[in-house]
Structure 1
Amino acid sequence: MSEPAAPAGQSARSSPAPEPSWWNWANALTLLRVLLVPVIAWLLVAGGASRQWWAFGIFVFAALTDSIDGWVARRSLGVTRWGQLADPAADKALIVGSLAVLAFLGRLPWWAVAVIVVREVAVTVQRAVLLRLGQVMPASRFGKAKTVSQVIAVTLYLAPVGPRWIADGALMVAVALTVASGVEYAFRGRRLVRGA
């Protein structure tokens, strides 16, 4: 026996919209960003002026895809759970991977990379714990400023031209914002745990 037909307009409200396929343009850009990390690493380790320019250009392109994939996902209604998890992971892989290679080549201090890695791991673990408690901690303006400062620092170190002291200064700003935003997230997370 067939079910009675729902009134006009009701089915659209009562039936949840299916999640879009994980394979879409936005997620493809996120995946591309991850795949470009070893390419940048190889170009830097191989050395040479032309490869340095290629590493610089590819990093800038990869960093730009971070803004593009979010816009594409919202525009095409292609926001997926996979994308929400993979996008920040791709950002971390791009920045930390590039910084690690630059430190390996002796272009910047290892301690700066260590500070950034510890902060990123700590915040990621904190978010995972909060998620298990049913709490979501969105990115703050402080956290977004941290990401922008890290991208600027890596870009300046990869640039084949330009004074080194500017890149060093940008790295110090990035490290300071990394620590400050990490402290901010720790306090925010503590408040969320108490409210859970």
Structure 2
Amino acid sequence: MPDTEPRPEPHWFNWPNGFTFLRALLVPVILWLLVQDTEGDTLRWWAFGIFVFAAWTDSIDGWVARRYTGVTRWGQLADPIADKLLIIGALASLAYIGELPWWAVSVIVVRELAVTLLRVQLVRRMGLVMPASRWGKFKTVSQVVAVGAYLWPTVPGTLRELLLNVAVGLTVWSGIDIAFRAGRLARDRPAAYRDGTP
């Protein structure tokens, strides 16, 4: 007879969530390297390498969670937040040193804050954790590529600007997409959940 009892959720303190913490902790390191890089490109290359490593951990923590430790609700919430901190922190660092326009950072920050608040409300009121969408993944990849292009010392300025504009466009579009998906989830949920009562 198959086991129909639900499996307990893994403990939140595990390797995948450790990678998530690390991703967030590397943001001030990138900022420090960019601010200190006044002569030559040595520290700039370090900033690029650390950013690539941090972005790579986003794939590693998900793979480890699905294959070995199990996915936790805490991890599903913390993982996208750590991604946002990494991207926004790197973009703000580049804007701070004058290499990237603040308007682009502002658009991305507003979108990410709105989506995060929407996710939190879905969890609190209806117990729903909305998984990442296809457009959300495209958005993340475009942002990582754009930041990487700005951190790479020899990338032409016109290419950097093009990649940044693509990232901002996908950021806005993916925000619209997730708002529509959240609306559909809320409509499909039983009415008892809409007032926060499961």
Q: TM-score over 0.5 for the alignment?
A: yes
The TM-score, its normalising length taken from structure 1, stands at: 0.88
**Alpha-carbon separation, structure 2, partners of 1:81 and 1:184:** 22
1:195 equivalent to 2:188? Answer yes
1:30 equivalent to 2:20? Answer yes
1:89 equivalent to 2:81? Answer yes
> After the TM superposition, which residues 42-121 of structure 1 pair with which residues of structure 2 at under 5 Å, given as runs?
42-47=32-37, 48=39, 49-121=41-113
Query: Which residue does the alignment assign to 1:185?
Result: 178
Deviations 1:51-93 (A, max 9, x none): 1010000000100010011101111133222211211111000
Residue 21 of structure 1 contacts residue 78 of structure 1 at CA under 8 Å; is this kept in 2? no
Query: Which residue does the alignment assign to 1:125?
Result: 117
Q: 1:83 to 1:137 in 2, by over 3 A?
A: closer
> After the TM superposition, which residues 167-186 of structure 1 pair with which residues of structure 2 at under 5 Å, given as runs?
167-186=160-179
- 2:151 counterpart letter in structure 1: L
**Alpha-carbon separation, structure 1, partners of 2:137 and 2:73:** 20
Residue 33 of structure 1 contacts residue 90 of structure 1 at CA under 8 Å; is this kept in 2? yes
When Rg is computed on C-alpha atoms for both structures, the one with the higher figure is: 1
- 1:13 counterpart letter in structure 2: T
Query: Which residue does the alignment assign to 1:4?
Result: none
> Structure 1 vs Structure 2: percent identity of aligned residues?
64
**Alpha-carbon separation, structure 2, partners of 1:86 and 1:191:** 23
Name the count of aligned residue pairs: 186
Q: How far did residue 20 of structure 1 move? A: 2.1
Residue 26 of structure 1 contacts residue 78 of structure 1 at CA under 8 Å; is this kept in 2? no
**Alpha-carbon separation, structure 2, partners of 1:136 and 1:22:** 16
Q: Secondary structure of the equivalent of 1:150?
A: helix
The TM-score, its normalising length taken from structure 2, stands at: 0.87
Residue 56 of structure 1 contacts residue 155 of structure 1 at CA under 8 Å; is this kept in 2? yes
Deviations 1:22-78 (A, max 9, x none): 222211111111111111111011114211010000000100010011101111133
Q: How far did residue 135 of structure 1 move? A: 3.9
RMSD between superposed Cα atoms in Å: 1.6
Question: Which segments of 5 or more consecutive residues in structure 2 lack a partner in the other structure?
Answer: 190-198
Question: Which segments of 5 or more consecutive residues in structure 1 lack a partner in the other structure?
Answer: 1-8
Residue 76 of structure 2 contacts residue 129 of structure 2 at CA under 8 Å; is this kept in 1? no
Q: How far did residue 133 of structure 1 move? A: 2.7
**Alpha-carbon separation, structure 2, partners of 1:18 and 1:195:** 26
